[in-house]
């Protein structure tokens, strides 16, 4: 009985000592965070990682208003740099990966015409992220404008708050979506095949999506946060990111 009580006490002490880091993560990283967390936890079993997903613009605004995050993982460098310029970070942001856009449909499509498929009469709705708050939405708008089809399909566009919401729309109510290529490598998306359900969008049609990471000054567990920061830039995390369709360092 004493041994059992001692065991419970030791387990409680381990739990109490476990440090928690809170990470604000851009929605495009939603699916890849699970294997990243698993690898980091294996290396740092005493550290608990809590992830909050959202658009980079919304998350950075929360941080500027005092949200208690330790790390910000942005979908671009703009919002990360804005926090740095505002004095909210310990250092300038670093690029941890480069994102890519894809044209996606839950139903099989003939993608031989590329983006011009969006002009077809049987395509009634096109999902994309809000270009004001989501870097992938900004990139998608560049694609539509540079390809010369924005004015032709403007009435078809439906906007999600984040790139994650844009994918949800493309899976449910929209005929086609401009989504993060990385999301198509998630386990739940395995049945959707390249060239049948999606194609990668020509990178020359949008500015590079350089994704940035920063450590935040109000971190409550700076040592653990620094460990995760280094992990994201290391070989293990970079390999996982590459497997999810990101271009890595």
- In the DSSP assignment, the letter for residue 192 is S
CATH 3.40.190.10 is right for the domain spanning 2-98+210-243: yes
What residues does 199 pair with on adjacent strands? 103
Q: What are the extents of the domains in the chain?
A: 2-98+210-243, 99-205
CATH of 99-205, one of 3.40.190.10, 3.90.1300.10, 3.40.50.300, 3.40.47.10: 3.40.190.10
Q: How far apart are CA 27 and CA 51, in angstroms?
A: 11
Q: How many CA atoms lie within 13 A of 195 on its CB side?
A: 1
Residue from 63, 79, 104 nearest 191 by CA: 104
Q: How far apart are CA 81 and CA 87, in angstroms?
A: 10
3-state secondary structure of 200: strand
pLDDT, residue 3, reads 56
pLDDT, residue 13, reads 44
pLDDT, residue 218, reads 84
Q: How far apart are CA 27 and CA 133, in angstroms?
A: 11
Q: How many residues does the chain have?
A: 249
Tokens representing 18? Answer: 């476990």
Residue stretches of the chain with pLDDT short of 70: 1-18
Residue 240 near residue 39 (C-beta atoms within 8 A) = yes
Q: Name the one residue in this structure whose structure tokens are 């910000």.
A: 72
Note the pTM of the prediction, 2 decimals: 0.85
Q: Do domains 2-98+210-243 and 99-205 have the same CATH topology?
A: yes
């Amino acid at each position: 009985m004493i041994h059992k009580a001692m065991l419970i006490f030791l387990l409680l002490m381990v739990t109490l000592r476990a440090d928690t880091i809170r990470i604000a993560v851009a929605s495009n990283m939603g699916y890849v965070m699970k294997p990243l967390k698993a690898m980091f936890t294996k290396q740092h079993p005493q550290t608990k990682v809590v992830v909050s997903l959202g658009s980079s613009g919304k998350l950075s605004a929360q941080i500027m208003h005092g949200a208690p995050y330790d790390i910000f993982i942005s979908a671009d460098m703009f919002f990360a740099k804005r926090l740095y310029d505002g004095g909210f970070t310990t250092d300038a942001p670093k690029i941890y990966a480069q994102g890519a856009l894809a044209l996606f449909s839950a139903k099989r499509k003939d993608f031989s015409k590329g983006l011009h498929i969006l002009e077809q009469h049987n395509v009634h709705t096109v999902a994309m992220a809000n270009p004001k708050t989501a870097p992938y939405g900004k990139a998608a708008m560049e694609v539509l404008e540079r390809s010369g089809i924005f004015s032709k399909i403007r009435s078809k566009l439906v906007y999600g708050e984040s790139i994650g919401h844009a994918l949800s729309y493309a899976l449910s109510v929209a005929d086609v979506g401009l989504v993060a290529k990385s999301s198509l490598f998630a386990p739940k998306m395995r049945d959707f095949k390249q060239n049948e359900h999606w194609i990668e969008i020509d990178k020359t049609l949008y500015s590079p999506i350089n994704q940035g990471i920063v450590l935040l000054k109000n971190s409550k567990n700076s040592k653990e946060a620094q460990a995760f920061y280094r992990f994201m830039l290391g070989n293990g995390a970079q390999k996982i990111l590459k497997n999810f369709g990101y271009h890595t360092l």
